[in-house]
Amino acid sequence: MSEWWRGAVTYQVYPRSFQDTNGDGIGDLPGITARLPYLAELGVDAVWLSPVFKSPMKDMGYDVSDYIDIDPVFGSLADFDALIARAHELGLKVIIDQVLSHSSDQHPFFAESRASRDNPRADWYVWADPRHDGTPPTNWLSVFGGPGWTWDGRRRQFYMHNFLSSQPDLNYHNPAVQDWALSVLRFWLERGVDGFRFDTVNYYFHDLKLRDNPADWRDLSTPADNPYDMQYHLFDKNRPENLAWLARIRTLLDEYGAMSVGEVGETHHAIEMMGKYSAPGHLHQCYSFEMLGRSYTPDFFRSRIEGFFSAAPQAWPMWAFANHDVPRQVTRWLPHAASPEALAKQAGALLLAFEGSICLWQGEEIGQTDTQLSYEELTDPQGIAFWPAPVGRDNTRTPMVWDDSANGGFTTGTPWLPVKAPQLARNVASQERHQGSVLESYRQMLQFRRGEDDLIHGKTRFLETPDPVLGFVRGEAGRGGILCLFNLGPDAVTLDLAAEGAQIGPAQEFAPDRSQIRLGPNGFGFLRLSAPVGG
């Protein structure tokens, strides 16, 4: 069975914001299909589509009301089939989001479940009686603020929701729910998708004893921006029953030769959980939010990569620096930058040199930055609930900027989120074929990675280098491999490092000689070693 996904690079498309073809200001499937040649030329292996299923859009498609149809705002099943066909013509795989831990409250199953306590789907969602004082059955919280329970007057019970109250959690302790979820996956596999990205993959099961979560054991001297982060989430997610369910998913995927990647939403043991969930017989790979924060130091990156492979040597990670849920990488890491462009190019090269599979968020390849939005411009329920901090998710979800025309070539109508001048200045057309641009740097790095087996399959050995330099060798033990060096700071540094080898691949502010290597601000470079280097 092909393991094309191992070491592959996936590009995340946010369908609402990629390309609009009908002038309604919202991106659509025909728009994505029209732009697939751009992605093929960029040099990625696969495209991940965020949800395009029927939805009331309370959480921009992550609240699904029909799992086997396309929402009209994005197009039709015929448009989806055309996208799959065109992607395969161009040699691109297609991965689609699956939001299976919860549904929309507009889903027919929830309407049936809430109608009574004894109907055929009464146990398809997580229901519980109130405490004797009328309060919710546990102290579990919603990621989006407030209790993780909502009262329903029909059943005179609370229902659980890890997110919006309009996103009730499905009950995976019920085998019928698992069977239904597998039927959804089979529907899309039969239509030719190459795999799935599983949303909130550690949220499927809850504690049947309904035990309260303890307080976070870490020292919180001041309250967190979001009270959800003040609990240690032992009982509302991360349950051991999850592993057997993931094994059922893997069995189905193996029938079709399809792949999977799970999103681990966890702040305590994310790396450990990534390893458990992507161990043989479970998901093919997992990613977490570990590298989507503000840390940009050699020790941080080294600890995450070494931590994963030492704890789970048979498992496989997917690394990402950004996605639709967090501020863009250039915005987050600007304090470490000589310039936004230098940082954008370095971050791309750094990520694409890591051992594992890689996911790129749309727009990072042009060095895009977060859009500053007013409260009145927000659509994201999380951003609205916690305004003005933490920053919501709309800032990173603004439309892809293709050129410097009105609305960046995204739409002829009014875009669902604005395209503002700082974002308009970073567009594809102005960087296309422009040597030294962020876009061309990404293309070169993607081509370099694809052509070097050491960067796809080689093991990682970190070197002892002074801050802020991150140094590691990719390759097999006992031979040279590829030396990868990154100055993660805005000032030039010189390394006393004897490395016998030839410079290869993209570089920025990189000057090696026999005994020293100079790395300029946010400099990086690669050497093909003729002999192992000390570290």
Q: Catalytic positions, please?
A: 199, 255
Neighbours of 122 (CB within 10 A): 17
Rounded distance between C-alpha atoms, residue 434 and residue 419, angstroms:
23
* 364, two tokens: 């990072």
Question: Do 232 and 215 contact (CB within 8 A), yes or no?
Answer: yes
Neighbours of 220 (CB within 10 A): 11
What is residue 277's three-state secondary structure?
Answer: helix
Neighbours of 294 (CB within 10 A): 11
Question: What is the residue type of 159?
Answer: Y
Question: What is the residue type of 514?
Answer: R
* Half-sphere exposure (Cβ direction) of 36: Cα atoms closer than 13 Å: 24
DSSP 343-372: HHHHHHHHHHTSSSEEEEETTGGGT--PPP
Give, in order, the Cα–Cα distances in Å from 126 to each of 118, 148, 245, 298, 427.
Answer: 14, 11, 17, 43, 46
* 114 closest CA partner among 103, 104, 122, 102: 122
* 159, two tokens: 């229902």
* 294, two tokens: 């503000």
Q: How would you classify residue 471: left for phi > 0, otherwise alpha for psi between -120 and 50, otherwise beta?
A: beta
* 16, two tokens: 């609402």
Question: What is the residue type of 535?
Answer: G
* 59, two tokens: 């959480």
Question: Do 352 and 446 contact (CB within 8 A), yes or no?
Answer: yes
Tokens 């570290």 sit on residue: 535
Angle 210-215-219 from CA coordinates, rounded to 5°? 165
